[in-house]
Amino acid sequence: MEDKVELTSLVSVSNKLRKEGYKTDFKINDDGRLSTMDDKNTYGPTEARIIDFYRFEGETNPDDMAILYVLETVDGLKGSITNSYGPYADEKIDNFMKQIEDLGKDLDKESK
């Protein structure tokens, strides 16, 4: 029953984001680049930024942990990508998001 509540929370957040214009579903392609599901658009870490993220934790099962990243690309595409965290995390997604986060830290240093 609680797993269903967690899933509903993820679905609720996804629906809310879609209403706010974050309609693109992203993935990380075989080259390690952010991509639309149809592979028509691809982006490197300098061409996307993390707007927000949401963590979802399974109350009864640690395997139910997930993170939803809200992204915007340099050409204005808005969307999201979901990843598990823990032992089931997709390493390609983790690596790409870390690169974006590291770039953000560098930008913060430059603005001071």
Q: What is the pLDDT of residues 43-68, one digit of tens each?
A: 999 999 999 999 888 766 666 789 99
Does 106 score more than 80 pLDDT? no
Quick one: pLDDT band at residue 90, thresholds 50, 70, 90?
very high
Q: What is the pLDDT of residue 1?
A: 40
Quick one: pLDDT band at residue 9, thresholds 50, 70, 90?
confident
Q: What is the pLDDT of residue 110?
A: 44
Beta strands 48-56 and 24-28 are unpaired
| Residues whose CB is less than 8 angstroms from the CB of residue 14 and which lie 6 or more positions away in sequence, other chains included | 68, 80
For 13-31, the pLDDT digits (tens) are 999 999 999 999 999 999 9
3-state SS class at 44:
coil
Q: What percent of the chain has pLDDT over 90?
A: 65
Where along the chain do its domains lie?
2-110
User: What are the beta bridge partners of residue 71?
Assistant: 50, 79
